[in-house]
Amino acid sequence: MTGSISSAQTALNDIKARIETARLRFGAPPETVDLVAVSKTFSADEVLPFLQAGQRVFGENRVQEAKDKWPSLREKFANVQLHLIGPLQTNKAREAVALFDVIESVDREKVAAVLAEEMKRADKSIPCFVQVNIGGEEQKAGIAIADTVAFVKRCREVHGLNIIGLMCIPPDGQPAGSYFAHLSQLGQEAGVSHLSMGMSGDFETAIAMGATHVRVGSALFGKRPATISA
């Protein structure tokens, strides 16, 4: 789907139309649903047509990849909002605070503490999401469901982080709706107003359950290339 402004615009228009249809179809919709274009592993040249077509919110998994890719793109395009959607190593926190506008993957106490320290040093307050291990999977990052509400409170009251929402990645190969509904319930209990959930194959279901941010990659960019090393 990449390669030209027109193909990028077509892909964006299709996804945005589906987002709006889903937003209006189910019950009381969120006022807006932000499209986070997941550009991880795609080169600057592949991202460029989407910027030219007007997309401004992008998601990256790795600090180093974002550091290599985005500074030059940001010089050419104003108002880019870059989300860190992958796990954050604490030794990358300083670079993450410098590079990203939103951090969606606060998943443990040490990360919260280091981010708070780096934001204070940089005199910044970056909106953050707490990542929840909504499927209770050992191989996935995220705070345990039972600890989520208390962890959000600690992030705010102990570390002073601006926690605006929750994020999750449901288990592969299972219907996602119940997991999205659970995250929505947790969000209410934790007192957050944003939910980042839903990807290319299930974002409409996520919107039905109250998603305010959907993370869409392959439905925009096409088949993902081999992962770029950190």
Q: 177 near 208, Cβ under 8 Å?
A: yes
Give the pLDDT of residue 129: 98
Counting Cβ atoms within 10 Å, is residue 5 exposed (0-12), middle (13-18) or buried (19+)? middle
Cα 161 versus chain centre, distance? 17
Q: 182 near 192, Cβ under 8 Å?
A: no
Return d(Cα 33, Cα 195) in angstroms, integer. Answer: 10
Indicate the SS3 state at residue 10. helix
Here the tokens at position 26 are 């189910």
Return d(Cα 21, Cα 204) in angstroms, integer. Answer: 9
Give the pLDDT of residue 165: 98
Give the pLDDT of residue 28: 67
Give the pLDDT of residue 228: 43
Here the tokens at position 158 are 């102990």
The residue assigned the tokens 């991880």 is 40
Give the pLDDT of residue 30: 79
- The number of helix segments (H) and strand segments (E) in the chain equals 9, 8
Apex 62 CA angle, 17 and 125, nearest 5: 80
Q: How many CA atoms lie within 13 A of 123 on its CB side?
A: 0
Give the pLDDT of residue 126: 98
Cα 24 versus chain centre, distance? 22
Query: What domains sit in the chain, N to C, each tagged with a CATH number?
Result: 5-221 (3.20.20.10)
Q: What is the pLDDT along the chain (230 residues), one digit of tens a residue?
A: 447 999 999 999 999 999 999 999 877 677 899 999 999 999 999 999 999 999 999 999 999 999 999 999 999 999 999 999 999 999 999 999 999 999 999 999 999 999 999 999 999 999 999 999 999 999 999 999 999 999 999 999 999 999 999 999 999 999 999 999 999 999 999 999 999 999 999 999 999 999 999 999 999 999 876 554 33
Pairing of strands 34-38, 57-60: parallel
State the greatest distance between any 2 C-alpha atoms of the chain, in Å, as a whole number: 48
